Amino acid sequence: MSAPSSKPTVTEREARQVAEAAREQDWRKPSFAKELFLGRFRLDLIHPHPLPPAEDARRGEEFLAKLRVFCETRIDAARIEREARIPDEVIAGLKEIGALGMKIDTKYGGLGLTQVYYNKALALAGSACPAVGVLLSAHQSIGVPQPLKLFGTDEQKAEFLPRCARTDISAFLLTEPDVGSDPARLATSAVRDGDAYVLDGVKLWTTNGVIADLLVVMARVPKTEDGKGGITAFVVETDSPGITVENRNAFMGLRGIENGVTRFHQVRVPAANRIGPEGAGLKIALTTLNTGRLSLPASCVAAGKWCLKIAREWSAAREQWGRPIAEHEAVGKKISFIAATTFALEAVLDLSSQMADEDRNDIRIEGALAKLFASEMGWLMADELVQIRGGRGFETAESLAARGEKAVPAEQVLRDLRINRIFEGSTEIMHLLIAREAVDAHLKVAGDLIDPDKSLQDKAKAGANAGVFYARWLPKLVAGSGQLPGTYGEFRHGIDLSRHLRYVERNARKLARSTFYAMSRWQGRMETKQGFLGRIVDIGAELFAMSAACVRAELLRTQGDHGREAYQLADAFCEQSRIRVEELFGRLWTNTDTVDRKVVKGVMGGAYTWLEEGIVDPSGDGPWIADTTPGPSKADNLHRPVN
């Protein structure tokens, strides 16, 4: 049986149609963030702050205590960084304490932790060594356990989940050397052959792939008389004949992760291992990521907490001009930013995670906003720590120790965090994904008006529907509770957080008005205005974070748990966030988007190649994208299972 020999050729419109078909089309549950983008501040959806049941909290805290001991006694982060590998005995120890099964139900041998405590565990493990956190996250957040939990059959769960809970490491394989965020061009094929499918293709950046026992593989099934075909998900045994790990990739950060290039050549996979129907693979992947993305904010929260600790200790010990550097405003502002932002990120993470656990809200936008906001702010916090540390921030921990100083790996944290702005949807892709969800209500009522393929009759019908919707919606954007001084008075305790919530309410309406104006102005060209859409999303992220910070501060106050300090941090974050929001609103209409497009056209047309003169390019030879023609592997198999 021969595999397809060429990559699918798709137009921009076809690519959008594939992505659109994979979206969850309906909103069956309320969404705080969706309402926020529509100008409706539904504080009742997040306040009072939801809390986990007492039994879930007890089990979660018990495991955190066990994991902390393991991290403190069994994980040598410096060794992992030095050797660029997590020792087998560490992985074996994680298996022993049940860390592979944190999210797997107890009836399958897992710990059955909630999303809240799973994220707390990832943060704890990631603080000890980010590569360990990634190992656990890739296995459970996007590897075999999560898609099987959501879409697997009872038989699949019974066969694979007990293995994933205790012994087997899993990985998720979607990306290809020439396919990133455009899955319509996916080239890996899965051809039906009796009671099996035959896989051919190459997958890139397979985190955990070098040591995995089980894989979730996305492959394209050809359409037949008996099957609809399309991108489909499979559980694949890594020791199947025809699978070769051809390379273990190395990166600027996260040096301990086992990330590789995996080739499939005539790999037979039982049809019983298909997850869901043919063609459902991309929808399965996107749905899995709705909560799977929350693992990245967990790592960013952990990094923020560590940055705050180091900034506090160093800024008290280091003196300049007769005073500790923390007392100098230039440094103090950085410390304030790290502290306030860490508080807000934890608020966003815990709120989103608890809503995921309760399953009464649709959190597809909240989870995406959490990933976007945390990855961007986490990077900024680490960068500020390096600046506070000065030359020592640029020096490696090993070098610091060699000359007798505390081995603080600030530069490593900066390197390790950088990938979060790319992992599981780059910042640019997250902007587009969230923007699409944010304007969903508009497209439902007025989408046909701007669709060039729709008939005049369809456009007329859409115009009538849009007229009814906007006649009801637009007047509500004029005034709201944010203009009443006494609103949200329960958030006024010494420090007045109610004013920040009123600010959120007013600016949610302003955000919705801005979006409507832009859609009216650009109509079908709106999707090309990526700079504008990115700023709209960033404003929404700030407003969501402000809301979460205030709600968390009030929760801590009612619990008597650092309530006064929490109010101070929430107030500081909201003040800082408001400045960013005002700047973003200003840049919606006053920006360099037009001139930037002209410059890009000139760059790509070769108009500025003279500007590149006077350098030597140290890059090596080779194609920009490696050849991935299907066929048998010519490389040694680097697969290294950990028993």
Catalytic residues: 424
Give all strands (DSSP E) within 195-353, no chain letters: 196-207, 214-221, 230-237, 243-248, 259-270, 274-275, 319-320, 323-324
What are the CA-CA distances from residue 361 to residues 90, 141, 199, 356, 366 (Å)? 37, 19, 38, 7, 10
- With vertex at residue 100, the alpha carbon angle to CA 94 and CA 102, rounded to the nearest 5 degrees, is 115
Q: Please identify which residue in the block is written with the tokens 């529509």.
A: 38
d(CA 128, CA 578): 34
Residue 508: count other Cβ atoms within 10 Å of its Cβ.
Answer: 26
d(CA 201, CA 220): 10
Q: Mention every residue, 6+ apart, whose C-beta is less than 8 A from residue 598.
A: none
d(CA 101, CA 202): 29
DSSP letter (8 states) at residue 625? S
| Closest-CA residue to 350 (of 556, 620, 183) | 556
d(CA 103, CA 164): 10
> CB pairs under 8 A, 24+ apart, for 75-81?
75/125, 75/128, 75/129, 75/132, 77/128, 77/129, 77/409, 78/397, 78/398, 78/407, 78/409, 80/129, 80/131, 80/132, 80/255, 80/256, 81/255, 81/256, 81/397, 81/409, 81/412
Structure tokens at 564: 């006064």
| DSSP secondary structure letters along 580-594 | HHHHHHHHHHSSSHH
What are the CA-CA distances from residue 471 to residues 40, 450, 464, 467, 468 (Å)? 16, 19, 11, 6, 5
